[in-house]
Amino acid sequence: MKLSDLLEGAPPARYTVDDFVAAGRRRKRRRNAGWAIAAVVAVAIAIGVPQILTRPQAHPVTPAPTPTRALNRLFQTYKVGPLTVGDPEWVGVNNQTTYIGRDRPPGRPLRAVGILDVYRPGFEPPRTWTEKVTPTAPIGGRPAFFASARPGPDNGIWKPVRVLVWKYADNATAVVTAYDRYLGLSEAEMRAVAARFALQATPQPIRQRYTVGWTPPGMRLAAVEYSMRGNASVVFVPDKASTRFVSTALDHQTAGFLYNLDTKNRNFGPVAVPPDGMVIDVMSGGSSERGPDPECGPNEYQDVFATDASWSRQCRVQAEPIPTDRSGSLSNGMMMTVRAGDAVSLDQLRQVAASIRPVGPPERTDSWTPSVEAFPTSAQLPRD
pLDDT tens digits for range 286-329: 777 777 899 999 987 654 555 555 889 999 999 888 876 655 45
Confidence (pLDDT) at 249: 65
What is the separation, in whole angstroms, between the first and last Cα of the chain? 30
CA distances from 298 to 233, 311, 312, 341 (A): 19, 9, 6, 10
Contacts of 145 (CB under 8 A, 6+ apart): 133, 134, 135, 136, 164, 165, 166
Confidence (pLDDT) at 71: 87
Is 244 exposed, middle or buried, given 0-12, 13-18 or 19+ CB atoms closer than 10 A? exposed
What number of other Cβ atoms are within 10 A of residue 317's Cβ? 24
Confidence (pLDDT) at 149: 93
pLDDT, tens digit, for every residue of 143-164? Answer: 999 999 987 655 555 688 999 9
pLDDT, tens digit, for every residue of 325-350? Answer: 655 455 678 899 999 999 999 999 99
SS3 379: helix
CB 209 within 8 A of CB 370: no
Distance CA 91, CA 97 (A): 7
Phi/psi class of residue 272: alpha, beta or left (left: φ > 0; alpha: ψ in -120 to 50)? beta
pLDDT at 135 over 90: yes
CA distances from 67 to 55, 318, 378, 380 (A): 24, 33, 12, 9
The more confidently predicted of residues 265 and 335 is 335
CA distances from 85 to 111, 151, 152, 236, 328 (A): 12, 23, 21, 27, 36
pLDDT at 104 over 90: no
- Angle between helical axes of 17-25 and 36-48 (0-180°, round to 10): 50
pLDDT, tens digit, for every residue of 29-65? Answer: 433 444 443 433 333 333 343 333 333 343 333 334 4
Distance CA 16, CA 6 (A): 22
Confidence (pLDDT) at 42: 38
Phi/psi class of residue 238: alpha, beta or left (left: φ > 0; alpha: ψ in -120 to 50)? beta
DSSP 110: P
Confidence (pLDDT) at 9: 34
Confidence (pLDDT) at 261: 55
The more confidently predicted of residues 8 and 107 is 107
User: Of 13-27, 68-82, 119-133, 211-225, which range is least confident?
Assistant: 13-27
SS3 120: coil
Distance CA 331, CA 323 (A): 7
pLDDT at 19 over 80: no
Distance CA 332, CA 308 (A): 28
SS3 349: helix
Confidence (pLDDT) at 28: 40
Which amino acid, residue 3?
L
Confidence (pLDDT) at 364: 83
Best-predicted range by mean pLDDT (115-129, 157-171, 242-256): 115-129
Identify the band that residue 258 occupies on the pLDDT scale cut at 50, 70 and 90: low
pLDDT at 274 over 80: yes
Distance CA 171, CA 336 (A): 39
Distance CA 71, CA 20 (A): 18
Mean pLDDT of 102-113: 82
CB 362 within 8 A of CB 209: yes
- For the chain, what percent of residues have pLDDT higher than 70? 68
SS3 339: strand
CB 90 within 8 A of CB 97: yes
CB 359 within 8 A of CB 209: yes
Mean pLDDT of the chain: 77
Identify the band that residue 110 occupies on the pLDDT scale cut at 50, 70 and 90: confident
Distance CA 269, CA 342 (A): 20
CB 284 within 8 A of CB 362: yes
Sign of dihedral through CA atoms 362, 247, 97, 34? Answer: positive
Identify the band that residue 17 occupies on the pLDDT scale cut at 50, 70 and 90: very low
Of 208, 212, 244, 211, the C-alpha closest to 226 is 208
Mean pLDDT of 210-230: 86
Confidence (pLDDT) at 323: 75
Identify the band that residue 136 occupies on the pLDDT scale cut at 50, 70 and 90: very high
Which amino acid, residue 30?
R
CB 97 within 8 A of CB 119: no
Helix (H), strand (E), coil (C) string for 35-70: CHHHHHHHHHHHHHCCHHHHCCCCCCCCCCCCCECC
Confidence (pLDDT) at 375: 96
